[in-house]
Structure 1
């Protein structure tokens, strides 16, 4: 059994763009082995260029309620996670810590990288008085689900996703069809009333 590597944690910065693109791509490629259904989640993954990744990092790191933590082994980024502080609902002040994008290189899984990242995330949540920790992972990522369940996370919600353009198209189609259906029913009712009126006039 190989010894666990020495893991160093720090906050991500713009200069990590290339390394993080590589990590995300490596994890996305590995998840294809988790079954054909996992491809539905991978369909949302589009590998960015380094310039785009750097701009996205700058945008996210500029948020006061968000922190991106990276894990390094021998100077290489082998894991990362994103922490966001929010409230349980928009109408109360119960603070929650939302952990997303728990990424660990397949080459360094089962070596305490995930637990080290989660420990740092929990400390960040405590610093911001978060009472609840919520972790979001892809539905078909079996290993992360097993791990989170093992350490006490329970399922409380289901996340669903759709491309914005497709959603708008579907809603427009539904609204149009509903209007057409309503018009058709109104026409039929009018014709029925006229037919009934003619029948009564003849009698």
Structure 2
């Protein structure tokens, strides 16, 4: 057994749980207005970009809408516009004037992740496992390590089909909240609820 992290507020973004099933490179458009960190949840940007390194590829952006069919997955690695590894890509980075950089994203529709809950106004309970939940990015990522601080937003748990993530289970080391009071930071196993790569999903 490891350490029970449910009482520790230490968000770390979305990390693959188990094997990485698929990963692909996506473009981050030049001067994109949001910083991107490793572990950030990403969605399809809605267009393709002809890049100087990878040819014509789809672009991506930080997940913020939960729109059905938009979710790609979480960032595994980041690269500058010249293809060099970088811990994060700062907001408004110009890069080569075509892309700010590139993101390697775990984009399989059945990919599982581990992520902490924010527990700010309520906490997730046993009865909520199997429901859907939105992600949240209250805290900025770490510019030294490049680590995301994204979490799942505990008080958004619902059956709503457009919520970004489906809760599959609880980290085996953590204690899930019994009463749902605020302040728990349990880690949960989740998967994209409406992946862009899934079958029978509208194009975006």
TM-score, structure 2 as length reference:
0.22
Quick check: which has more Rg, 1 or 2? 1
Identify, as 1 or 2, the structure richer in helix: 1
Bigger share in strand: 2
